[in-house]
C-alpha cells in the first residue's frame, strides 16, 4: 500500500479579541475526517510533553478548554461550514 497524504490547514484571525478559525481541507474529507485529524494532532502535542505528569496537566487543560467553549452559549454561535477546494496545491 502506497503513501497517502492528507492536508488540513488552520488559519486563525483575531478580531476584537475573538478568534476566527478558517479550517481548509480537500473536499473529499468530511467533517468527521477533519475532526479526527485535528484531534490526532492535539494528542501528538500532549504526548510530546516531557513527563507523564506534564502530559496529564496539559490533557486536563485541553479538556477544560473544550468544556468552557461548550458551556459558553456565545461560543460557536456563528459556525458555518462551506465545502470547497482548498487554497493549497495538491501534492
HSE, side-chain direction, 13 A CA sphere, residue 83: 7
SS3 35: helix
* Chain centre distance of CA 34: 8
pTM across the whole model? 0.74
Helix axes 52-71, 31-47, angle to 10 degrees: 140
d(CA 6, CA 87): 14
Kindly give the confidence (pLDDT) of every residue in the chain, 91 residues in length, as a single tens digit, with 9 standing for 90 and above.
788 888 899 999 999 988 888 898 888 899 999 999 999 999 999 999 999 999 999 999 999 999 988 887 777 677 777 666 666 555 4
Contact 76, 69 (CB under 8 A): yes
Tell me which DSSP letter residue 73 carries.
T
Amino acid at each position: 500500500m502506497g503513501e497517502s497524504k492528507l492536508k488540513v490547514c488552520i488559519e486563525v484571525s483575531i478580531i476584537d479579541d475573538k478568534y476566527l478559525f478558517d479550517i481548509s481541507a480537500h473536499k473529499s474529507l468530511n467533517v468527521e475526517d477533519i475532526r479526527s485529524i485535528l484531534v490526532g494532532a492535539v494528542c501528538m502535542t500532549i504526548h510530546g510533553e516531557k513527563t507523564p505528569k506534564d502530559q496529564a496537566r496539559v490533557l486536563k487543560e485541553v479538556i477544560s478548554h473544550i468544556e468552557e467553549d461548550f458551556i459558553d452559549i456565545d461560543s460557536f454561535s456563528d459556525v458555518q461550514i462551506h465545502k470547497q477546494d482548498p487554497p493549497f496545491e495538491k501534492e
